[in-house]
Chains A and B, each alone.
Chain A
Amino acid sequence: MSSIESGKQTFEPRIIAFFCNWCTYTAADLAGTARMSYAPNVRVVRIMCSGRLDPQFILSALREGADGVLIGGCHPGDCHYQEGNYKALRRFTLLKRFLRSMGIEDERIRLEWIAASEGDKVQRVINEMTETVRALGPLHLEAMSMERIEDVIPSELKAETVAASGGHHE
């Protein structure tokens, strides 16, 4: 993540998109054949159904360096497997609340229903999400790593500070 050091303006968000085979992936294909251009920040992973999206995939994506995760499925009622997108919606609803408790902003994960004919929606959603995540900045992965702060004694907890202030307090 060397782009971070040189300032936020050069930060290019990395977004992992999970698109369902039957609707959203087809729509992304359509956007491609129609030569619509959109932000290059999204890496698309095709899955058979948004209902196949195990929330573990989302956390893995974030842990491996994604700044945001986009999920695309068929419109309600249109799921190729009848109910898969509703399952995705239920999981997404609860997962978002979990991520919020973990200090991860709501805007970093987004669920959209995009039908096979909606190539323009793929374009719009990807562009919007790239800008939203760009504004948020990188995911604070370093601050969430296990490696930081162990035997290092932070300077504010060193003895001099204590002696000088008579006690450590905010």
Chain B
Amino acid sequence: MSKPKVAFYWCASCGGCEEAVVDLAEDILEVVKAVDITFWPVALDFKRGDVEEMADKELAVSFINGAVRSSEQAEMVHLLRAKSQLVVAFGSCAHLGGIPGLANTFDREAMFREVYSNVPGLDNEEGTVPVPESVVPEGTLSLPTLWDTVKTLDQVTEVDYYLPGCPPPVKLIKNAVNAIVSGQLPPHKSVLAPDIALCDECDRLATKPDKLSIKEFKRPHTSVIDPEKCILAQGFLCLGPVTRQGCDAACVKGNMPCTGCMGPTSRVHDFGTKALSAMASLADSNDENEIENILGKIVDPVGSFYRYSLPASLLHRGYVPSVQGGRKQ
């Protein structure tokens, strides 16, 4: 019997998810023994044409990482969806939008202006920006269109399972591959990680006080973190209480606060707001001005609470007023 065929693809991502597959180390041999990797642009020389030639549903599963933010990514995602029995959103970006999703506080126009015109030391006097079509003497050249809005994978196509994390922990990847190979699949559309908060698996849980209250929020680059005590109790924004577990509290083990890459548990709709709500209510004051001061130390609410999930949030994106009335339709 032939082995199930598997594809890996990346959209708007950093490559860390591909690295996580490599982090399987010798276990990757087990994976290769069990499945046929037929498409993986970062590692193998198969082209889009090879996928196009496949029959519908020929792939057992496509692991797609990265957020979707261009016409090319959307095309590839739709193509892989058609050729796959299962699509797994692999990593925070595909799951919730990830770090690229923070671009949703801007739009394409604002980004282009910043990147191709305002950046200090930029040498672009002609103001060239990428355009979908350029006419040159040899003919018309084309580029994919960059979207205004970064999307999660399931905002573009149907997703069967989610592997959370930035990148997904090796343990969870192995579990997922085993589940697929053995056909023992969890309920459709589930997130392939335990549905319980991170604090529960944190080594420092015993030092977490029953009632947390914070007089001063601190930041890891300005204060020293005690390597033994609960990081949140020390005043650092540690999102453990609102984040799904499955990473063995890797960041906390490295003495850094949890930033929430595993996303929320199943009871939460909007991770960032829930995190914001949880952290704000810890401010240790009942006085309006003092509350303002304490919470003022959280300098970037969007980046702190929606670091991995802005596109998946209830608002999806920010409102960017048009600068020159040039806003599209």
Partner of B305, one of A58, A89, A98, A148: A98
A164 to chain B, nearest CB (A): 10
Question: Number of residues in A with C-beta < 8 Å to the partner?
Answer: 48
Q: In the bound complex, how far is the Cα of B127 from the Cα of A63, in angstroms?
A: 37
B138-160 near A? 1/0 per residue, CB < 8 Å: 00100001011101000100000
CB closest residue in chain A, given B292? A93
Chain B residues, CB < 8 A from A1: none
Q: What's the Cα separation between A89 and B289 when bound, in Å? A: 11
- A-chain residues with CB within 8 Å of residue B315 when the two chains form the complex: 59, 62-63, 102, 144
Question: A146-B149, A148-B148, A162-B135 given as contacts; is B286 within 8 A of A101 (CB)?
Answer: no
- How many residue pairs at the A-B interface have CB separations less than 8 Å? 159
Taking CB atoms, residues of chain B closer than 8 Å to A93 are 280, 288, 291-292, 295
Chain B contact-residue range equals 35 or more
- Which residues in A have their C-beta under 8 angstroms from that of B313? 59
Name the distance in Å between A106's Cβ and chain B's nearest Cβ: 13
B301 contacts A by Cβ under 8 Å: yes
Query: Which listed segment binds B: A20-28, A35-43, A123-131, A153-161?
Result: A153-161
Report the Cα distance A139→B127, complex, angstroms. 33
Residues from chain B with Cβ under 8 Å of A150 in the complex? 71, 74, 145, 147
Separation of A147 and B305 alpha carbons in the complex (Å): 24
B133 and A158 contact, CB distance less than 8 A = yes
Complex: A62 Cα to B314 Cα, angstroms: 9
A-contact 0/1 string along B109-147, CB 8 Å cutoff: 000010001000000001111011111000010000101
State the Cβ distance, B1 to closest chain A Cβ, in Å.
41
Q: B residues within 8 Å of A by Cβ? A: 71, 74, 105, 108, 113, 117, 126-129, 131-135, 140, 145, 147-149, 151, 155, 268-270, 272-274, 276-277, 279-281, 283, 286, 288, 291-292, 295, 298, 300-302, 305, 311, 313-321, 323-324, 326-329
List 6 contacting pairs A-B, 8 Å CB cutoff, sorted by A.
A56-B268, A90-B295, A102-B302, A153-B132, A159-B131, A169-B126
